[in-house]
Structure 1
């Protein structure tokens, strides 16, 4: 509690400045004007993944442990700060106005801090491409799930904010909350702290819950939009959201079963 109080007192002047000057229009204008940034970033990311994997195929793995510790620490702090701001505001709006209103109406956009942290969130999705760097140079298995998740989150997050989607705040708040826990876990692992398997299992289950909720949020927005009710979304985001969240759930289910439910083979044990 003392740490939270110190953080709050330190950030209060900054928050007041943001609340006095920041608007949703600034986030929407930035993301819509630079609509091409996530697509170029994703193409460069995939190219780097391909070239980096080939380059490391003939080399021994690198540790980069101090850098890995710092990397996960920074992402932990950013995720915690974002969740600390977004979750209470979203919960308050949800309890006062109801679920459908929190997913579809524009009033929630009047919260400057939500719009500001939504922008930080979409920018962090490009920054998080660096996760893959450590996987490649440390020569740990690079799954399709990993880079597919990074690419699609980057695209849908950027696009949803460019059209002022209210549901985007749900996407941001849920992702930041889960990442607060996930990157804390990675930070401790990088420090070589022994973590029980149940922690990793719980994090994967939290991710699955996030995808179920994300699909449900998108489904509500889609139903409202198709029926002609007021909802800040569009056809492209509805299709993209349902497809991506559905694919996340299926891919993470397979990952969960392969990692935690199947008995390891002799080859897996040796690895």
Structure 2
């Protein structure tokens, strides 16, 4: 292998690929601890841990291709999306992990954070007031009590790998813990609304589509400024700002 690919890099962490090995560099040891423990407990395909030398974690590449990517049309079949839904149901039905999710907040705390972020988005001219106000109303449906399950916590479509309409691996478990099942499903389908029905069919019962759509708005509102500040572009076609506009 004569080159190193930078998969993602920002002030919190970086991931490099060298051949079939991924090197995850993270100064937050607790976050890496969670990733290793979650992969060991999750009843779904996960990457093999090759070695760990803090702050570096080396894991093997998983076979297959990413289910989708935010901002791009997915080339995966409806059956592959349904298989992803079934795999996530298996995770959510597993025994709870013995730690709290890093993203875990009660509805009141989450509402306060959301209101502060909405105010900042408008005050700083990041997004129009009407767009923020509309999506804040949509997001309200996600601010309700939920039964905790074993969640991935950052289940983006490019963290799920598939081949021949089956899930071959789910990566990036650093946000795993106890959380809201519908948050995982919303994260998976963010920007891929056309596959929400496929995922719901594979997942089975307990899917409230209005709450999933609310999580799309909530996650996007909370993420826009962070993404800009860390070198990502939420204004790119099909990404977070377009998700917010679709709720109008």
User: What TM-score do the two structures reach when normalised by structure 1?
Assistant: 0.33
Higher strand share: 2
User: What TM-score do the two structures reach when normalised by structure 2?
Assistant: 0.35
Higher helix share: 1
Q: Work out which of the two has the higher radius of gyration on C-alpha atoms and give 1 or 2.
A: 1
